[in-house]
Amino acid sequence: MAKRRGYHFALLVYFLMCTAQELAASRAGYEYIVEADAWLRLHIVPATWSDARLRCHLEGGVLASPTTTAIATAMSAMMADSKMTTRFVFIGVHALISKGDFMSLDGVPLANLSIRWREWEPNNVKNNEDCVTIDGAGEANDVSCDSPHPYFCRKETAKMTVNKCGTTADGYKLEPRTGSCYKLHRLARNWHRAAMACHAEEAHLAVINSNLESQVLKEIFAAVPNNVIKSGDPNFAFVGVWDWNEHGEWLTVFGESLPEAGFDGWSPNEPNNAGGQEFCGSIKRDGLLNDYPCLIRLPFICEITPK
């Protein structure tokens, strides 16, 4: 009997260990590659090379290349396991800086990468193939940077620690009054790029759900004075309000009307659609809403709403 109990206990320990390992092996879409001590994420939604590079960068990583045999092997395995409908993925190898001189974003020379060119490649079709894809066998092809492909991001283990806001991104602070975490990005981006930056940090552009949250955002903005904003107009910050291209109706990034979301306090004389191009939502330093051109870059505030 005691023997059987011991056996059951061993089984339970084994099960718990497997579960723990599984949890440790997958985080924020990334899988841990033991042999490389690195984390890889396969983004299966195709993007242009530039957008892929930016997305990985905003996630705190780099558009990955098969820098070692271990990573090349892991990439092939992840591509085989994925639901991708295409055979090719972008890697971080490019010749955008000096035409014809392929290099990796990781700083590894092409000759040392674990890839080989497919037959007849690189062929620089129409003098427009400055980016590189690999297929499941790791064979490389130079391709146009503008046609979208899935891609791999890579993060170092040191950047994978989950903080109490539930993200691996730094700079988020829990605000007890609303229960949300916030981060003000001082480097300005246009509204859609700002939304992308928040999403890359497992957050969303801040949605104001109460007068109190408006006050909280006002204080967060006030804590970053004009001269600390790195670019863009320091008196505005993008938030999660958009007209969804239906000019005149303002909704949150979750599609709720502002009264439904719980806050529709516009700054005096706003929304004024100044210049006829103000279709994205920001706050002024008074914490109240203002319409602003989507394509002009502003600092912005991301929010992580507790689950």
Residue partners of 205: CB distance under 8 A and separation at least 6? 191, 194, 195, 198, 238, 239, 240, 253, 300, 301, 302, 303
Residue partners of 246: CB distance under 8 A and separation at least 6? none
How near is the Cβ of 98 to Ca ion at its closest, in Å?
18
Task: Give SS3 for 291.
Answer: strand
Residue partners of 27: CB distance under 8 A and separation at least 6? 39, 160, 162, 168
How near is the Cβ of 219 to Ca ion at its closest, in Å?
14
Q: What binding mask, one character per residue, do residues 163-202 give for Ca ion by CB under 5 A, x or -? A: ----------------------------------------
Q: What binding mask, one character per residue, do residues 262-301 give for Ca ion by CB under 5 A, x or -? A: --------x-x-----x-----------xx----------
Q: Which of 142, 201, 202, 243 binds Ca ion (CB under 5 A)?
A: 142
How near is the Cβ of 245 to Ca ion at its closest, in Å?
17
Specify the residue for token string 């507790």: 306
How near is the Cβ of 118 to Ca ion at its closest, in Å?
8
How near is the Cβ of 159 to Ca ion at its closest, in Å?
26
Rounded-to-integer distance, Cα 207 and Cα 254, Å: 9
Specify the residue for token string 């103000």: 278
> Is the CB of residue 160 less than 8 Å from the CB of residue 168?
yes
Q: Nearer to Ca ion by C-beta: 270 or 286?
A: 270
Q: What binding mask, one character per residue, do residues 62-101 give for Ca ion by CB under 5 A, x or -? A: ----------------------------------------
How near is the Cβ of 261 to Ca ion at its closest, in Å?
8
Cα separations (Å) of 122 from 66, 86, 94, 127, 139? Answer: 17, 20, 12, 11, 11
CA torsion sign for 275, 276, 281, 283 is: positive
Neighbours of 184 (CB within 10 A): 19
Q: Is 123 one of the binding residues for Ca ion (CB under 5 A)?
A: yes
Q: Nearer to Ca ion by C-beta: 9 or 254?
A: 254
Q: Is 51 one of the binding residues for Ca ion (CB under 5 A)?
A: no
How near is the Cβ of 116 to Ca ion at its closest, in Å?
14
Q: Nearer to Ca ion by C-beta: 139 or 270?
A: 270
Q: Is 207 one of the binding residues for Ca ion (CB under 5 A)?
A: yes
Q: What binding mask, one character per residue, do residues 229-248 give for Ca ion by CB under 5 A, x or -? A: --------------------
Q: Which of 67, 104, 168, 209 binds Ca ion (CB under 5 A)?
A: 209
Rounded-to-integer distance, Cα 277 and Cα 191, Å: 13
Residues of this chain that bind Ca ion (CB under 5 A): 121, 123, 129, 141-142, 207, 209, 270, 272, 278, 290-291
